[in-house]
Amino acid sequence: MTDAAELRRRTAELLAAEPPADTDPADFLKARFDAGLAWVHYPEGLGGLGAPRSLQAVVDAELAAAGAPDNDPRRIGIGLGMAAPTILRYGTEEQKQRFLRPLWVGEEVWCQLFSEPGAGSDLAALGTRAVRQDDGDWVVNGQKVWTSSAHVARWAILIARTDPDVPKHAGITYFLCDMTDPGVEVRPLRQITGEAEFNEVFLTDVRIPDSRRLGDIGDGWRVAQTTLNNERVAIGGMRLPREGGMIGPVSKTWRERPELRTHDLHQRLLKLWVEAEAARLTGERLRQQLAVGQPGYEGSGMKLAFARLNQEISGLEVELLGAEGLLYDDWTMRRPELVDFTGREAGYRYLRSKGNSIEGGTSEVLLNIVAERVLGLPSEPRTDKDVAWKDLAR
């Protein structure tokens, strides 16, 4: 069994063969993947060594100390946190070999084509249709919305309805969609911040080979649960240092600007600091749980806490700064590759945090998931459970 000492030995061999100071970053990342040091818990040949997930920190620490490049995980977060674990679990060997290496290295950016204008909170009600052709390929028509990184993505994970004659959860199939194919149109969605990091995506007669279907026909909802559970862990369980995340800027302002302090604001800041630290430590426990298996529904609770905390902390920061907190540098529409809170004003952080309770699953839906799947409370009454999708009121 691969242990920490063996991983340190393999890492030393990689650094000796590909010195970071003399090696092109892309070549180093490819060599790291091929050495099984990308994600050590993945199987051999797919960037891993079949080692315990908890030992990834050993490799990361050795490489960071040597000044090795990383794969810019924030830029390719959807691929790393959502597409990769789903492909690993449900993909064919050909799919794993084709997609995982360029995904991890950062050669190919991924996006997620799940939500629709009429299927956001109720994702299983989606109406994008995939119809199988005589040659076995699929032709997809529909619209997706709130798609992060679609304007820079090469690939997308896509769920579409393949059988309208069965209940909504049963007639969905999961695909890997080439964003450069004819019929894929990406349009920007301008947000309250002035930016357009999100998009709407129109699919018009997009042809997808059956070889890019992930999982069985009609089993897309089950496959999508792997994606969604990993997404919520990725959003709510981000590894942060102490005073990381939004609590960091407001704590810094409090220390550096004593003239802004009041007793009431002090009490509120202390309460939020404690809650942020509790959420950080809970995230660490969740990552330990991940080391022994797939993420469960507990990630929904973490994502809930993340959204609420970010909104409350950013609101406190704006209130602390007063009129200064309302300043915002530029309303010109920009098309960022990723969300970047660093170096931005309090006003930006306040506005952007409003989306936290929508993206990655609305807080209302996640509350139901926690109640039913984690706490075991009775489910809400459902009148659509056994009704064919085509017969649902829309």
Q: How far is CA 145 from the centre of its chain?
A: 15
pLDDT at 283: 76
pLDDT at 54: 83
Residues 196, 190: Cα–Cα separation, whole Å: 4
User: How far, CA to CA in Å, does 308 sit from each of 236, 280, 318, 358?
Assistant: 11, 14, 16, 11
pLDDT at 231: 72
pLDDT at 344: 78
pLDDT at 342: 62
Is beta strand 155-161 parallel, antiparallel or unpaired with respect to 110-113? parallel
Residues 38, 293: Cα–Cα separation, whole Å: 18
Contact assessment for residue 119 and residue 127, using Cβ atoms and an 8 Å cutoff: yes
pLDDT at 393: 80
pLDDT at 234: 62
pLDDT at 383: 81
Structure token digits, residue 79: 């691929």
Among the listed residues 18, 195, 197, 231, the single catalytic one is 231
pLDDT at 113: 97
Residue of 236, 232, 143, 129 lying closest to 189 (CA atoms): 143
Query: Which amino acid appears at position 156 of this protein?
Result: A
pLDDT-flagged residues of the chain (< 50) = none
User: How far, CA to CA in Å, does 41 sit from each of 47, 52, 232, 292, 298?
Assistant: 9, 5, 20, 10, 21
pLDDT at 44: 95
116 counts as catalytic: no
Domains of the chain: 10-70 (no CATH), 110-218 (2.40.110.10), 224-374 (1.20.140.10)
pLDDT at 295: 57
Name residue 44's beta-bridge partners.
48
Residue of 213, 157, 204, 156 lying closest to 184 (CA atoms): 204
Residue 307 zone, left/alpha/beta (φ > 0; ψ -120 to 50; rest): alpha
Q: What angle do CA 242, 300, 157 make, to 5 degrees?
A: 105
pLDDT at 372: 83
pLDDT at 370: 81
